[in-house]
Structure 1
Amino acid sequence: MKQSFLIFILSLSLTMPCFSAFGETIQGDSPTNPVTTETIKAPELNAEAAILMDATTGEILYEKNSKSKMYPASITKIMTVLLALEKGNLNDTITFSHDAVYSIEPGSAHIAMQEGEQITLEQALYGILLRSANEVANAVGEYVDGSIPAFAQHMTQRAKELGCESTNFLNANGLFDENHYTTAYDMACIARELLKQEAYQKMMSNTYYEIPPTNKQTETRYLHGQHQMLNPKSIYYYEYATGGKTGYTWEALNTLVTFAKKGDTQLIAVVLKCKGAEHYVDSKTLFEYGFSNFQTVKVFSARDYIKTVNVVETYKNKTTTLGSIQVVPKEDVYKTIAANTTLSDLKIDVNCPETIDAPISEGQEIGTITAKTGKDTITTSFVAQSAVAATSEEARLTQEKESKVKLLKTIGTISLGILLSCLIVFAMTRTIGHLKRKRRKRLRTLRRKKYRR
């Protein structure tokens, strides 16, 4: 009976007009599947804005109003978790301030943290991911940057670094503010970056966690996840879903970010401004569309293109080899292609120098490697696997001093050799002269004796 009623409600919602989060009627910007020029029927969604992205390649498989500004609600916390993992340590202790606890709206999501209460960052992140606890998001923001305003600026700046063009964050939890907004595309970019965090990869699929008693609470907190696509007991359970974050406010309606993986293909679905359970239905529709029509394939493995580069240094027109380093492509390269097809006309172009001038820092980009397949070109950089410092001025002066001393020693040795040779020649010359004079004297003496006879 419940399911029949749900289907009726979803059918009814299809006939309702669609409005943006900012009160504008959506016109144009029809659903597309930009990754391919082939004719693949795009799915029909109820969400006002949505996107489906290949998590590995970043390629967009489907979009609907993906760059329209919308209110994110609690999927904002994806950025909060990302910054916490980038800047924090899971074992660090977080102490809840008065503002962190009491600045949230009455009735909004929380786990009853108290002022002065302490938990670890790891426990806090589970409180955010599983229960969307707003006071915990506040405390994490204060832990990272000292205050919520500073943390919000940090969030917005990090979003810009990730290529987000229409995102502005004013808080760590997503509670409504008309100037706190994002887009489906921007949220997919943020979610893709979060997915690179190993700590998050270990946490993302968990649907249950316990926070033991603290300095202020004698009871254990039992946290059950809210994302129904991860819950095997839910009618919205999706076997390939691996993680994500729910969101809801009256202004934003339901928002949802979900990760799913099937085989080697990992996808990110973002849906915004959904009524009822549309966010789960639409997300599953997107994943089924993505897995049915696309696949992620490896173009080449970085370890197959390791190169050795000589590091040299030129000083006063003299070039010296300081050693050699290994360079390797920054990452394995993948491509999203249509399902049941293979890469065509693959060509690899390596542009890597044989020698390079010092100094070299670890991770420095050195040359490029380009893969061409069909009409597509993918380029990534070679990066240095170790550092080679340039000769310092002090070391150079020492080398010059040592070279001068060595030169003087050489000159001295040669001069001494020449002097000794001269002395030997002189001595030999004197000896030979003396012998000659002695011989001549003896001959004269013999002649005189002969004449006397």
Structure 2
Amino acid sequence: MKHSFFIFFLSLCIALPCFSAFAQPTDDVEPYMNSQTLESPEINAESAILIDATTGEVLFEKNSKNKMYPASITKLMTVLLALENGNLEDVITFSHEAVYSIEPNSAHIAMQEGEQITLEQALYGILLRSANEVSNAVAEYVDGSVAAFAQRMTQRAKELGCETTNFVNANGLFHENHYTSAFDMALIAKELLTQDAYRKMMNATYYEIPPTNKQPEIRYLHGQHQMMNKNSIYYNEYATGGKTGYVTEALNTLVTFARKGDTELIAVVLKCNGAQHYVDTKALFEYGFANYQTAKVLSAQDFAKSVEVVETYKNKTSSLGNIIVSPVEDVYKTISTNANLANITIDVNYPETISAPVSAGQEVGTLTVKSGQKTISTIPLVAQTSMIETPQEARIAQEKETRMKLVKMGGIVLLGIVLASLILLCITRTVGYYKRKKRRKQRALRRKRQRKITRCTK
């Protein structure tokens, strides 16, 4: 028995080295991500999400698609639509409805009926003081009524990919049918960052609205987001903007933007007690910046290509010239902080020729970025300029010009033939004349010699 056990043990020892204690990499593993174990933050918010603002990749989430009440972070959508559909220099006049329809003691900046400020001043009032009557006025400025504006808000959210969002007002005051999710708010916030005007406003912690037609005093606006306030215990050096929110049913809600180096993050936390929304957001940013970075995979300008534009008319294909096509945008990828992009290949697919007409922005081909066998991104190659077909009037003129050229060419050829014939005739006659003259001269010489011979014989 002991002998049998010894043989089994020896066999096991020999066999064990044949098995690895570590998993081997496969083709499905992304080489641009490392295999480290990332320690997720402890979040007390009922719902939360952290995304890369550039790539949109989700870095952390907790119940991020649950239906939640947003409170005043709603106003980020209000600002987005105002920038997409308005002019910052336009003047807004406050209606009775805009001023007096808000709840008593809710956030406002004491605007009066008939008072006028610019859209830019209104947006600072919304972003810094969360002014509810200002949100109403902006809604009326864009769509004529808050109800119509709320419909636009919901429709725009769907266009951005939001799946759990329905807005019924522009300010976020509680309504049971006014809801969203952390995921949807992150999408809205990401889109807001595409607005250059917002990027100029988002860092502001203080703003002054000068005297108006109804108010002789300056309105001094101080920001409420404590992660932007250098005198606050919740100040965060990387925070660059955002929006606070609170109603009893939603508790504290918060959207915050932060940037460290080339990496920009968006954190959304919903239904937080007390100052927990700042604590959670700080934890999310610490986690995000410690573990992830945004890497540029390619620059659009490095992949510009020339494509010939042609047109076919009456079964004849002709070239109209060349246009430049290039990717619509640079390509970025979120990777871990101690990783780098490896094994990147880029497949460019576009035709050598394209038929007119071509419009600027028209998709002409595609550019696919791969890491190993995995596709990172596929983006369109678009025309940078337009090129139209030859107008019918121009074609008629060209055909007429072509016919005239043919007629002229035919005339020239005919004239050439006539001239050549005349010249040849002249040459022929001249040669014939000299030949005849020579023959006459030769005959005369022969006759003369014949006469001399005849005289000599006599």
- Find the residue that maps to 1:216 and give its secondary structure: coil
CA distance in structure 2 between the partners assigned to 1:224 and 1:199 by the alignment = 19
Say whether 1:380 aligns with 2:373.
no
Structure 1 residue ranges without an equivalent (≥5): 1-34, 448-453
Deviation string 1:159-218 (CA, Å, 9 cap, x unpaired) is 122111221222211122222211111110110011111111111011000000011110
Aligned with residue 247 of structure 2, among 241, 246, 249 = 249
CA distance, structure 1, for counterparts of residue 305 and residue 245 of structure 2: 47
Alignment partners' CA distance in 2, 1:330 and 1:142: 35
Q: How many residues align?
A: 419
1:17-416 equivalences under 5 Å are: 39-374=37-372, 375-416=374-415
> What secondary structure, in the 3-state scheme, does the structure 2 residue paired with 1:50 have?
strand
| More off after superposition, 399-408 vs 251-260 | 399-408
Local SS of the residue matching 1:137: helix
- Range with greater deviation from structure 2 (305-314 or 231-240): 305-314
Distance 1:324 1:214 in 2: 55
Provide closer, same or farther for how the CA distance between residues 241 and 442 of structure 1 changes in structure 2, counting only shifts above 3 A: same
- Greater Cα offset, 103-112 or 380-389: 380-389
Which stretch shows the higher mean deviation, 317-326 or 234-243? 317-326
1:383 Cα deviation from its structure 2 partner: 2.3
- Judge conservation of contact 2:34–2:338 (CA < 8 Å) in 1: no
Deviates more, 1:35-44 or 1:57-66: 35-44
Unaligned 5+ segments in structure 2 are: 1-32, 447-458
Q: CA contact under 8 A between 2:166 and 2:179: conserved in structure 1?
A: yes
Distance between the aligned counterparts of 2:103 and 2:252, measured in 1? 18
User: What is the CA–CA distance in structure 2 between the aligned matches of 1:219 and 1:36, rounded to whole Å?
Assistant: 58
- The AA in structure 2 aligned to 1:368 is T
- Inter-partner Cα distance in structure 2 for 1:143 and 1:435: 104
Aligned counterparts of 2:297 and 2:108: Cα–Cα separation in 1: 45
Matched residue of 1:105: which SS?
Answer: coil
Change (3 A) 1:160 1:408: farther
Partners of 1:343 and 1:105 in 2: CA distance: 53
| SS in structure 1 at match of 2:213 | coil
- Distance in 2 of aligned mates of 1:413 and 1:278: 94
Per-residue deviation, 1:293: 1.2
Structure with higher RCO (Cα < 8 A, 6+ apart): 2
What is the Cα deviation at residue 430 of structure 1? 7.9
Question: Offset at 1:422?
Answer: 4.9
Letter of the 1:382 counterpart? L
TM-score (norm 2): 0.83
Secondary structure at the counterpart of residue 83 of structure 2: helix
Deviations 1:214-250 (A, max 9, x none): 1111010000001111111111111110000111112
Taking the aligned partners of 1:172 and 1:426, their CA distance within structure 2 comes to: 98
- Give, in whole Å, the separation in 1 of the partners of 2:429 and 2:181: 103
Paired residue type of 2:403: K
Show CA shifts across 1:333-375 (max 9, x none).
1111112111222222222333322222222222222222254
Secondary structure at 2:149's aligned position in 1?
Answer: helix
Give the aligned residue type for 1:103. S
Letter in structure 2 aligned against 1:387: S
Match of 1:4 in 2: none
- Identical positions, percent: 71
Output aligned runs, 1:431-446, within 5 Å: none
Query: Which deviates the most, 118-127 or 335-344?
Result: 335-344
**Secondary structure at 1:417 match in 2:** helix
TM-score for both structures, normalised by structure 1? 0.84
Q: Can you list the C-alpha shifts for 1:101-144, whole angstroms capped at 9, x where unaligned?
A: 12222221111111211111111110010001111111112222
Distance 2:394 2:97 in 1: 55
Q: Which amino acid is 2:327 matched to?
A: P
Instruction: Note the aligned Cα RMSD (angstroms).
Output: 2.8
Verify the 8 A CA contact 2:311 2:319 in the aligned structure 1.
yes
1:260 to partner: Cα distance: 0.6
User: C-alpha distance in 1, partners of 2:36/2:403?
Assistant: 72
Name the aligned partner's letter for residue 399 of structure 1.
Q
Distance (Å, rounded) in 2 between the aligned partners of 1:103 and 1:404:
76
C-alpha separation between the residues in 2 aligned to 1:401 and 1:87?
49
Question: 1:444 offset after TM fit, Å?
Answer: 12
CA shift for structure 1 position 390: 2.0
| Amino acid in the other structure paired with 2:165 | T
Q: Which moved more, 1:52-61 or 1:245-254?
A: 245-254
